[in-house]
Amino acid sequence: MGPAGKASPAESGCAPVFWRLGPSASATVHAFDGPLARQHACPRMDASDTPPCILVADDDDGNRELLERLLGTRSFRVMLAPDGEVALHLAQSPAVDLVLLDQMMPGLTGTQVLQRLRAMGNDVPVIMLTAVGVASEIAEALRLGADDYVTKPFSPTVLLARVERRLRPRPALRKPDTPAPQLPFRTELRAEGAPGAFTSFLGRLLRGKRGAESTDPVEELPLGTVLSRRYRLKSMAGSGAFGVVYCAQHMDLEQDVAVKVLRRDAAPVEQGVSSLETFRREAVRACRVRHPNAVRVSDFGVTEGRRPYLVMDLLHGESLEDRILRNPLPARTAALIISDLLSALAAAHDQGVIHHDVKASNVFLHVEHGVEVPKLIDFGAGGDVGSGPPGMVVGTASHMAPERFLGAISDPRSDVYAAGVTLYDAVVGALPYAGQTYEELQRMHEAGGYCSASFLRTDLSPEWDVVLARLMALDPAQRPLAREAAELVRRLG
């Protein structure tokens, strides 16, 4: 294998001198002086007396030296192996706490070393560290018992975090305060009808980053107001920075609906487009999407004060974000929810509509006739397939595909990326990239690598990592379209 190469400051988050911080002489063990070295200079000691010992198996001298220096910055003891046979021999030592294993080596490949270790009952943690990033190779390594898989060139910060994580006892997943009903998704489910659930959802409309509070609800239109001689406002359900949402009644049909009205203090013009026109475009896009898993927008109008409004289905339940905040979802439930979400996105893409803001808070778990049905909501940030980049980047940075940071034209695969982030969030309870700004997330994308879902949840099979890697591929050409992605995710359930 060729050298891993030195990371740029953007990749490492450190100055280049980071790579020159070598370990002390006593921290490194050169264990390949003989054909099969019998002496191990990392004797097993009490954990309080000595740092962990890491075996680095790589046939490239530059890679071994680079990893030796990197691990030394954390005072790890290091054993080095130049080929697969030496690696297999040294990995059996009780002194070794973790193995960094290259794939293409003389003698035995990394996969062969891994396979033989597991066949012998050796459960030493193994992180595959290789330039082979093909999905089938990753899946095979994970199937054979690898604990993690890192591709070169790697981010030193990410690699150290993964090593340290593997060396710690794995914490149990947090449990909910009250037992959740153990019902399969889409079976009969008693609707609790908790007051405020709908308010909780609508109060999150148009939110940005998770946990950001919406503006305090302010009654902007008097209750009892009748819009377009059809919709009587009954109560205010919530508000965001852009709109205020009311529970209303369609007077002719005697049916409850949700009405979202542009806030009085919303900017009248943005990037040369009026807020009224922005609202109208949202209505047009949403009306073009007809799918059981997408919220239905049925009408658009303007109040007497020239403020636009949308009329939508009234939903009962909670957002996916609310559900995740209590506890990560069972794997089957998450797979079924996100596969339905992707099916709705496929229907939108068929109509030339891109959502641009797929995330957990924009997926509502609507309870209808005792059955829970996911609904994709809020097309306010949407665009048309193939349209040029907007005057400014819209959407939520943590779920935004890398190409969107660069002003790429609207592409359906950017929604697939966001759906992958949402799926990861649903089963892990955290986002794959923890950056808070566009700049931080761009650096993380450039560095590459996130903690695999199966590492954080041992009940997830390696197939989960393979599917998530496809959905969140940094290159949009490597991602499936929404309909194929829906099928891939559905098979996980």
Q: How far apart are CA 278 and CA 311, in angstroms?
A: 15
CA proximity to 125, closest of 162, 172, 74, 83: 162
DSSP-assigned letter for residue 294 = B
The Cα 342–Cα 364 span in angstroms is: 14
In terms of C-beta density within 10 A (0-12 exposed, 13-18 middle, 19 or more buried), how is residue 236 classed? Answer: buried
- Helix H or strand E encompassing 405: helix 402-405
Indicate if 357 belongs to the active site.
Answer: yes
What percentage of the chain's residues is helix, strand, coil (to nearest 5)? Answer: 35, 20, 45
Parallel/antiparallel/unpaired status of strands 317-319 and 363-368: antiparallel
Strand partners, 149: 128
Reduce the DSSP state of residue 92 to 3 states and report it.
coil
**Is the Cβ–Cβ distance between 203 and 221 less than 8 Å?**
no
Tell me which residue has tokens 């305090």. Answer: 216
Beta carbons within 8 Å of 269's beta carbon, 6+ residues apart: 275
Which residues fall within 8 angstroms of residue 340, CB to CB, at 6 or more apart?
293, 373, 374, 486
Rounded-to-integer distance, Cα 379 and Cα 351, Å = 13
The reply to whether omega before 179 is within 30° of 0 (cis) is: no
| Cα–Cα distance, 283 to 310 (Å, whole number) | 7
Cα–Cα distance between 80 and 277 in angstroms, integer?
Answer: 64
Residue 24 burial (10 A CB sphere; 0-12, 13-18, 19+): exposed
DSSP assigned state of 346:
H
Residues 203 and 267: their CA atoms lie apart, in Å, by: 20
- Give the pair of three-digit tokens for residue 180: 């959740």
Burial status of residue 349 (CB atoms within 10 A of its CB: 0-12, 13-18, 19 or more): buried
Rounded CA separation 484/431 (Å): 23
Identified catalytic residue from 59, 340, 357, 425? 357
Handedness of CA 157, 163, 168, 171 (dihedral sign): positive
Q: Are strands 308-312 and 363-368 parallel, antiparallel or unpaired?
A: unpaired
Q: Judge whether 281 and 268 are in contact, CB under 8 Å.
A: no
DSSP tag of 265: T
* Amino acid letter, residue 299: D
Positions annotated as catalytic residues are: 357
